[in-house]
Chains A and B, each alone.
Chain A
């Protein structure tokens, strides 16, 4: 009996490790290749060495990174991506949390109607409105500006909905106590509610960051000038401008992935919480 279990477990672990390799090998290859010179990448590709870091490559381990940053203004693209993502994130946290709070707490006419409208907008795929949105942003003179990148995506129905659900369960007594002390409603919200609602702000912030860091279509359409490109759009430069330097490409891909990796490593708990919450609650 014990022997059978041992065999079963061994098979299971071997199978799961092979699967893990299948999921990880492109990542490992990307990281490892970013440290090699062009010759070495092709030399190693037919063997296990494709997944092993090189022994002291000429020019040091970061030669590709330095070259990639010199060839293309990756730094500028990264800054643009950060401004774009964090701009949407910060403005969105303020605007959407306030809306969620209003829908959860205040009694005012048409409250349920607005909630229904906001939830209905969730169905509209961004892919179906990018052309009229472009025309609008163009007419506002916002093409190739941070404003044009950020403002259209600040309000987000899904974030509003998450905030509303959270505030519905939030104890009322705290606000009532503050009200008796003569605090204004805006004051109560920003001084008392917000600091006590860190988990939901963290969850919405992570979702917003991940979504918009990876955005492609809107930045592609609205940021046509090179200086306004986000990193996701800027990466294509390496593909479109021959000769393609594989090592440099892998370095650029790695650099693009790092912010997401960091977010994920440090905030995994909030992300998975939020994810499972939305999934199982449906």
Chain B
């Protein structure tokens, strides 16, 4: 009897420790698995994103010149102080800000207008939606080349079309006053369909009974738009606002292909200036300091967005 009890106890302890051991090995197995699955992505992100980011920061304090990679000298804040004296940077910053300040509200308004149109009870919804969205399918390069021809002052299609309405030919891309506006018009045309889809999703998330209740109360469509639609689109609008703004400060392809930054530097943008200084003039040090400033700018926009959205939730 006594022996039997002892045996039972022993086997119980044994099975308990076994279970504990199993649990432990399972846990360590999970740690190993976790890192095996995560490591490839983590390594790639570190080597090709975080490391270059760090290097951009480091280069920004040096006189690193692409043709003399072995003679890097630490020069402190010299690059950064030069930024404020660089007339080209000043102009590029102004151009970029001008583009963003115009393109963001216009593109948002156009996208919202299109979404409201499509969201009605109409036939051929898909046809119209596809039509408005179709420019998004084309790449910026394709669109830029295509519109360079459309904007052609002498034989371009747009001047021919304007001529039908008795409007005299415009210089578009060849005039310092019109070049950036022409790029803005084209960019809105190309991009608005994308935000239209996001607005559409936002519109469909607004509960229908709100509109029903409002029309019973005798609210006009205009009042419904201001009091139901716009507040209902708040989060979506913030998202769209930020994505367009960030895309706008990155403007590069259109001016690079359509105007080469001209005429008279009127379409030279921040990223274009960074590209030229770094890649054409090979002054990686100075270009990196501008890239750092550029990153901080993008960061600020993101932080503002977080603040606005957080306010909404809190």
Contact = CB atoms under 8 A, between A and B. Distances in A.
Contacts of B202: 279-280
A135 B53 CA distance: 12
A95 B44 contact: yes
A249 interface: yes
Given A20-B128, A95-B44, A235 B142 contact: yes
Nearest to A102: B37
B135 A133 contact: no
Nearest to A50: B157
A96 B284 CA distance: 31
Given A94-B40, A152-B48, 17 more contacts: A20-B127, A22-B189, A26-B189, A42-B155, A99-B42, A102-B36, A107-B34, A118-B45, A121-B49, A127-B252, A131-B284, A132-B284, A136-B47, A136-B48, A217-B253, A275-B197, A280-B198
Interface of B: 27, 29-31, 33-38, 40-45, 47-53, 55-56, 59, 66, 69, 114, 117, 120, 122, 127-128, 131-132, 134-135, 137-143, 145-150, 155, 157, 160, 163, 189, 193-194, 197-198, 200-202, 205, 235-236, 238-240, 246, 250, 252-253, 257, 271, 274-275, 278-279, 284, 287-288, 291-292, 294-295, 298-299, 302, 309
A26 B147 contact: yes
16 contacts: A16-B128, A23-B131, A23-B135, A26-B135, A27-B138, A102-B35, A102-B36, A151-B44, A216-B139, A232-B142, A236-B141, A238-B145, A249-B149, A276-B201, A279-B202, A280-B201
Nearest to A230: B141
Looking at chain A's contact residues, is the secondary structure mostly helix, strand, loop, or mixed? helix
The 8 closest A-B pairs by CB, nearest first: A106-B34, A108-B34, A276-B201, A102-B37, A279-B198, A155-B44, A99-B41, A132-B55
Interface in A252-282: 253, 256-257, 260-261, 264, 272, 275-276, 279-280, 282
Contacts of A94: 40
Interface of A: 9, 12-13, 15-16, 19-20, 22-27, 29-30, 42, 45-46, 50, 94-96, 98-99, 101-103, 106-109, 111, 114, 117-118, 121, 123-125, 127-136, 151-155, 157, 160, 185-186, 189, 213-214, 216-217, 221, 232-233, 235-236, 238-239, 246, 249-250, 253, 256-257, 260-261, 264, 272, 275-276, 279-280, 282
A26 B163 CA distance: 17
Nearest to B303: A123
A249 B56 contact: no
B59 A279 contact: no
B139 A213 contact: yes
Contacts of A153: 48
Counting chain A CB atoms within 10 Å of each CB, the highest count among B44, B55, B240, B295 belongs to B44
A279 B275 contact: no
Contacts of A16: 117, 122, 128
A30 B140 contact: no
Contact of B41 (A98, A151, A253): A98
A10 B27 CA distance: 68
A214 B56 contact: no
A261 B137 contact: yes
Contact of A253 (B31, B66, B146): B146
B259 to A, nearest CB: 12
Given A131-B279, A249-B149, A279-B202, A260 B138 contact: yes
Contacts of B194: 275
A124 to B, nearest CB: 6
Contacts of A151: 44, 48
A108 B45 contact: no
A235 to B, nearest CB: 6
Given A239-B148, A253-B145, A125 B250 contact: yes
A98 B139 contact: no
A23 B189 contact: yes
Contact of A96 (B41, B47, B288): B41
A106 B288 contact: no
B132 A19 contact: yes
B41 A160 contact: yes
B193 A23 contact: yes
Contacts of A109: 31
A6 B205 CA distance: 29
